[in-house]
Amino acid sequence: MLKAVLFDLDGTLLDTAGDMGAAANHVITGLGLNALSDEVLACTTSDGSYALLRAGIPQAMIEQHGLDRLRERMLGFYRQNLCHHTQPYAGVPELLGWLNQNAIPWGVVTNKPAALTEPLLAALPLFSQCGVTVSADTLAHKKPHPAPLLHAAAHLGVKADHCVYVGDHRRDIEAGLAAGMATLAAGWGYVSAGEDPHRWQAGAVMDSVDALSHWLKGAFDAPC
């Protein structure tokens, strides 16, 4: 019996590619290189800042400038521009509202650093009733390790096998399975090129937020 829902953030609840991409492209174009296309951003954002930089900067230049320094430059820009283009996917506000109305605990488990996660969620009213937020550096481990999910479940006061975790990356499903949770793949998210969510061994692949809402309402046996 399910009692709580945990979500990944980027590519699952929020479309952050515009702001993440702008930060990456600020660094990339500053080196005299071509900006990443929307298509590249769509299939790379969930892999994080390092992947975005590697997608646009040749290895020789990365070695010359230092990947960590380039990332610091990117994240510095991103911190100042967290929510210019970021928005929830269609249907997400209604889904979170339904969870709140039915007193179903929910939370966010992300590989985004807390210094970015916390101000971003604070800027968006739809997260005001989020029961727990676990970021990449909240614990010693991050996804695909199960520890962040187990920590979130414990914080909500729910056993892991009474939770479902929703995410748009293979590591999300791996973490959920390792934690003993039900898992759902967010097929609308930033699925990496060459990846097939149907091969991740998730309990199901959701093609849209509406499909996810329908699944959850059936699983929790609550009124629509």
Is 0.75 topped by the overall pTM?
yes
Angle between helices 17-30 and 67-80 (to 10 degrees): 130
Measured CA to CA, the distance from residue 127 to residue 31 in angstroms comes to 36
- Positions annotated as catalytic residues are 8
- The pLDDT tens digits of the residues spanning 68-121 come to 999 999 999 999 999 999 999 999 999 999 999 999 999 999 999 999 999 999
Residue 42 pLDDT level (bands cut at 50, 70, 90): confident
Q: Are strands 163-167 and 182-186 parallel, antiparallel or unpaired?
A: parallel
Q: Flag whether pLDDT at 223 surpasses 60.
A: no
Q: What is the DSSP string of 75-88?
A: HHHHHHTTTSS-EE
Classify 222 as helix, strand or coil. coil
pLDDT digits (tens, 9 = 90+) for 48-79: 899 999 999 999 999 999 999 999 999 999 99
